[in-house]
Amino acid sequence: MTEQFERGSIGRMRLHVLPTRRFKTFSLSLFIGIPLSESRVSAVALTPFVLRRGTSSYPETISFRERLDDLYGAGFGFDLYKRGDYQIVQLRLDMINDRFVSSELSLLQEAVRFLGEVLTSPALENGTFRGKYVEAEKRTVLKRIEAIVNDKIRYAGERCVAEMCKDEPYRLLALGRKDELAGIDAGTLYTEYRNWLSEAAIDLYVSGDTSLEEVERLAGESFRLPEGTPADYAAPEFRAPRAEPQTIVERLDVAQGKLNMGLRTDIGYAAAEYPALLVYNGILGAFPHSKLFINVREKASLAYYASSRLDGHKGLLTIQSGIEIGNYEQAVRIIVEQLAAMKEGRFDSEELERTKAMLSNQLRELQDSAFERIAFDFNNVLSGSDRTGENMLADVAGVVPEQVTAAAQRVGLDTIYFLRDRKEAEVGA
């Protein structure tokens, strides 16, 4: 029988444990999610940067890092992103299983204890965050925000989404806003941090040679969370696309144009039609054999890259391409033609079967990584679904052309965004 996650909770935190001897490590992921909000997005973004600097037991950053070395080189890191209308902080810890080292310690106990301290017992001074850590990490976050404009592919993607969702929380950058960072100090950040712990949805995942009972005991000893019950993730808002797509042209000092398109669908991750939408996206632009790559890049030689990406938690599909600025109109026309072809069911059996094979390979590869299995399962928590890798594999394999066409007809173009140079000649503007 396939290994399954076991579920429990400790106060405000849900627990998800995958007992397995497949891997030589314990893999821990802690997800803390809160609704995207203009008033707190920057404080939430800054918080994990400060938390990584030290804990009550290891208040200096060097001692914090030395502790990880002492634990046989345990790997610690964090991610910050948005899913649906939520801003999510993910703390990760990877540590070798006791069976493979000569240690008198329970390394899982030390791992849970360390992660509990990082989240709930940070290094403080005078009852609040250390000012030097806050100021240093404000500069770190500011540099990361400023660096986005230098990565024109990412910048164009962010700007397309921001224009498409300009009256929705999803427009906000997960890293926060530059103009808010300056006003955050150690005291205000600590207050926001305490509110964050009191309100956020918190999920602890543990994969390894353990049990739910053991993790419940260790988590209860290690996490000092505010009292309460676990918070749930609300269903996202799926908006209809604009009746007429909007076109946004932005001018910067660029040599290559970035043509991005934003599309909307009402098919979310939990929907029965989601596997067909995955196949739709695969045929359209997710793989090297996809329509965008073949028709825009290979046949017409219009793009340096052309692909599509799906966010099933928000019902958004984005197309991204890099083109010569003078090729704007032709590139738009060919991309729109591919969208129309999908709606009309104009794809062949080879495109369908190659896409299903690629998706199936991706799903099978998930089983080889503890963190990928955790990420897949967390999608269920976010969406209120109960998918497994096995049933997703079966659902994808069973998708037929009519289902892909039906999914295509529920995808609509909302926004065309073009990043181009500052020359006066109007191209698509």
Q: How confident is the model at residue 3, as a pLDDT? A: 84
CA distances from residue 255 to 162, 302, 326 in whole angstroms, order as listed = 23, 15, 11
Q: How confident is the model at residue 424, as a pLDDT? A: 65
| 304, 320 Cβ separation under 8 angstroms | no
Write the pLDDT tens digit of every residue in 228-279: 999 999 988 899 999 999 999 999 999 999 999 999 999 999 999 999 999 9
199-223 residues labelled b (16+ CB within 10 A) or e (exposed): ebbbbbbbbbbbebebbbebbeebb
Write the pLDDT tens digit of every residue in 193-239: 999 999 999 999 999 999 999 999 999 999 999 999 999 999 888 99
Write the pLDDT tens digit of every residue in 298-331: 888 888 899 999 999 999 999 999 999 999 999 9
* DSSP string of 77-115, one letter each residue: EEEEEEETTEEEEEEEEEEE-GGGS--SS-HHHHHHHHH
Helix extents (H) in 165-282? 178-181, 186-199, 212-222, 274-281
Q: How many CB atoms lie within 10 A of CB 1?
A: 3
Q: How confident is the model at residue 301, as a pLDDT? A: 86
Residue 1 has pLDDT above 70, yes or no: no
Write the pLDDT tens digit of every residue in 96-115: 887 777 666 689 999 999 99
Q: How far apart are CA 61 and CA 52, in angstroms?
A: 8
Number of H helices, E strands in the chain: 15, 13
Residue 429 has pLDDT above 50, yes or no: no
Please state the rounded mean pLDDT for residues 62-78. Answer: 92
Q: How far apart are CA 306 and CA 290, in angstroms?
A: 9
Q: How far apart are CA 180 and CA 235, in angstroms?
A: 28
Residues of the chain with CATH 3.30.830.10: 6-222, 246-420
Answer whether CATH 3.40.50.2300 is correct for domain 246-420.
no
Q: How confident is the model at residue 102, as a pLDDT? A: 64
**CATH architecture for segment(s) 6-222:** 2-Layer Sandwich (3.30)
| 159, 148 Cβ separation under 8 angstroms | no
Residue 72 has pLDDT above 50, yes or no: yes
pLDDT > 90 fraction of the chain, expressed in percent and rounded: 89
Residue 425 has pLDDT above 70, yes or no: no
Residue given tokens 């109109």 in the structure block = 329
Q: Report the half-sphere exposure of 189 (CA within 13 A, side-chain side).
A: 29
Rounded to the nearest 10°, the torsion over CA 375, 378, 383, 384 is 150
CA distances from residue 285 to 101, 184, 226, 267, 269 in whole angstroms, order as listed = 46, 41, 45, 18, 19
Whole-model pTM: value is 0.94
pLDDT > 70 fraction of the chain, expressed in percent and rounded: 97
Q: How many CB atoms lie within 10 A of CB 161?
A: 24
